[in-house]
């Protein structure tokens, strides 16, 4: 799972192997995503090697879980002819849950997934977790590294403000 203390990810994408089905880890990731309150979508992979009945069982199980009162999502299987603009705009409502079916080998479903990813908007400005670029710099450091020939390098998330070359922080 992703995210830092006090920070929220924009979205959660949960990957499920069509041939493996919904696992304990899938349910754990769903639970974490629900606890964080972020919009969720699923990608079912390996549809090219999964027997059709196993893929159907995986999709059915996922639908049943998403429709439970605890989860409260409306699962939406994304087809090749679907207009996903509506799904992308509705995703932040946290009610719908798009489900993509793809094969990394044949490329099936990947164009729709790419189109969807290009349409969903960042929730940085609406989540309340980040300041404006004009605010004083606030940077959450979550890693410090010693790089030979460079020195100390910090990694983290810029929470507010704008960092410019040569700035003392």
pLDDT score of 65: 96
In this prediction, residue 5 carries a pLDDT of 41
Positive/negative CA dihedral, 142, 143, 144, 147? negative
At 83 the pLDDT is 84
Which among 134, 159, 114, 121 is positioned nearest to 8, based on CA atoms?
159
CATH of 12-119, one of 3.40.50.300, 3.90.1150.10, 3.30.1390.20, 3.10.620.30: 3.40.50.300
Provide the pLDDT for residue 125: 65
Helix (H) or strand (E) holding 151: strand 151-160
Q: d(Cα 50, Cα 79) in Å, to the nearest integer?
A: 18
- Rounded Cα gap, residues 159 and 166, in angstroms: 19
CA distance 64 to 162: 45
- Specify the pTM: 0.73
- Collect the ranges in the chain with pLDDT lower than 70: 1-8, 124-129
Q: Is 43 helix (H, G, I), strand (E, B) or coil?
A: strand
């Amino acid at each position: 799972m992703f995210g830092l203390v006090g920070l929220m990810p924009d979205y959660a994408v949960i990957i499920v192997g069509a041939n493996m089905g919904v696992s304990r880890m899938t349910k754990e990731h769903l639970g974490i995503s629900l606890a964080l309150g972020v919009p969720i979508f699923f990608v079912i992979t390996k549809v090219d090697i999964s027997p059709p009945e196993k893929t159907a069982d995986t999709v059915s199980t996922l639908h049943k879980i998403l429709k439970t009162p605890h989860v409260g999502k409306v699962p939406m299987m994304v087809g090749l002819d679907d207009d996903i603009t509506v799904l992308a705009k509705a995703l932040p409502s946290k009610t719908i849950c798009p489900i993509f079916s793809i094969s990394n080998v044949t490329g099936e479903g990947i164009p729709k997934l790419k189109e969807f990813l290009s349409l969903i908007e960042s929730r940085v400005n609406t989540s309340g977790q980040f300041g404006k670029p004009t605010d004083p710099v606030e940077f959450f450091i979550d890693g410090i590294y010693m790089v030979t020939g460079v020195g100390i390098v910090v990694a983290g998330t810029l929470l507010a403000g704008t960092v410019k070359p040569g700035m003392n922080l």
